[in-house]
Amino acid sequence: MPTPSMEDYLERIYMLIEDKGYARVSDIAEALEVHPSSVTKMVQKLDKSEYLIYEKYRGLVLTPKGKKIGKRLVYRHDLLEDFMKIIGVTNENIYVDVEGIEHHLSWDAIDRIGDLVQYFQEDEKRINELRDVQKRNEEEADSKGHI
């Protein structure tokens, strides 16, 4: 099982390969805002754990195991962003909130959140009803002087 740090790398590597067709150490370092030497160390660790194959100066490729996990991590991230939008979290907070919780949820919790997101997306009326509840709660809090 990959560590949260390994997951961040696998997710980013998977996205780079999907977007550009490849992922270089410099691309990964830039995307994760870390030093290339840190990327090299992690890539070597991921290679040892058989998530990818890394050859110095030649680049890297995800193994089937690495691809599968990378795809699932991207799905988890996107799902949590959708969930945050549905429940009304402001756009400027969504990315930070998702990064803060994504490694701390079980896959069972992710599946249940997926069910909830699907439930709301299947009928726009449900989202509107949720917004009405949120608006009432805000008005009630304002009238009581709560922040």
Instruction: Judge whether 35 is annotated as a binding position.
Output: no
Question: Rg of the chain over CA atoms, in angstroms?
Answer: 19
Instruction: Judge whether 11 is annotated as a binding position.
Output: yes
| Lookup result for tokens 């980013």 | 12
Instruction: Judge whether 124 is annotated as a binding position.
Output: no
To 10 degrees, the CA torsion angle through 27, 85, 109, 111? -80
Instruction: Judge whether 8 is annotated as a binding position.
Output: yes
Maximum CA extent, the chain: 64
Instruction: Enumerate residues 6+ apart whose C-beta is below 8 A from 110.
Output: 76, 79, 80
Note whether 84 and 113 are within 8 A (CB): no
Instruction: Judge whether 77 is annotated as a binding position.
Output: yes
CA angle 140, 96, 14 (to 5 degrees): 140
Instruction: Judge whether 139 is annotated as a binding position.
Output: no
| Lookup result for tokens 């909130």 | 97
Please give the single-letter amino acid code of residue 140: E
**What residues form the annotated binding site for Mn(2+)?**
8, 11, 77, 99, 102-103
**What residues form the annotated binding site?**
8, 11, 77, 99, 102-103
